[in-house]
Amino acid sequence: MPNTETWGIVGLGWLGARLSTHLQGQGQRTWGTHRHDFDFRSASLPDTFCDVIFLNTPPLTDLSPRNFCAKIHSTTANRIIFISSTSVFAMNCGLVTEGSTPAPDTASAYWLLEVETQLRKNFGERLAVIRPGGLIGGERHPAKHLAGKVDISGGNEKVNLIHREDLIQIITKVPIGTPMVHAVANYHPSKDTYYVEWADKLGLVKPQFKDSVFAQREIHSTVVSSFYNDWKCPRLDFI
What average pLDDT score do residues 172-190 get?
Answer: 97
* Residue that wins the pLDDT comparison between 48 and 175: 175
Does residue 102 surpass a pLDDT of 70? yes
Lowest mean pLDDT among 17-21, 48-52, 71-75, 170-174: 71-75
For the chain, domain boundaries? 6-138+162-186+216-226
List all residues 6 or more positions away from 47 whose beta carbon is below 8 Å from its beta carbon: none
The per-residue pLDDT for range 26-58, each reduced to its tens digit, is 999 999 998 766 676 777 777 778 999 999 999
Whole-number Å distance between alpha carbons of 39 and 16? 16
Confidence of residue 91 (pLDDT cuts 50, 70, 90): confident
Q: Which letter does DSSP use for residue 81 in this model?
A: E
pLDDT at 222: 98
Q: What is the pLDDT of residue 71?
A: 87
Query: What local confidence, expressed as pLDDT, does residue 196 receive?
Result: 98
Q: What is the pTM of this model?
A: 0.96
Looking at the chain, the number of H-run helices and the number of E-run strands are 6, 12
In the prediction, which pLDDT does 94 show?
92
Tell me: pLDDT of 217 over 70. yes
Q: Whole-number mean pLDDT of the chain?
A: 93
> CB–CB of 43/55 below 8 Å?
no
Check pLDDT > 80 for residue 212. yes
**Quick one: pLDDT at residue 81?**
97
Tell me the average pLDDT across 113-117.
98
How many angstroms separate the CA atoms of 6 and 87, rounded?
30
188: closest CA among 212, 158, 153, 222?
A: 158
Per-residue pLDDT of 119-171, as tens digits, reads 999 999 999 999 999 999 999 999 999 999 999 999 999 999 999 999 999 99
CATH fold group of domain 6-138+162-186+216-226: Rossmann fold (3.40.50)
Q: Average pLDDT in the 92-103 region? A: 94
Per-residue confidence (pLDDT) for residue 2, from 0 to 100: 58
- Cα–Cα dist 158/110, whole Å: 23
pLDDT above 90 for 74: no
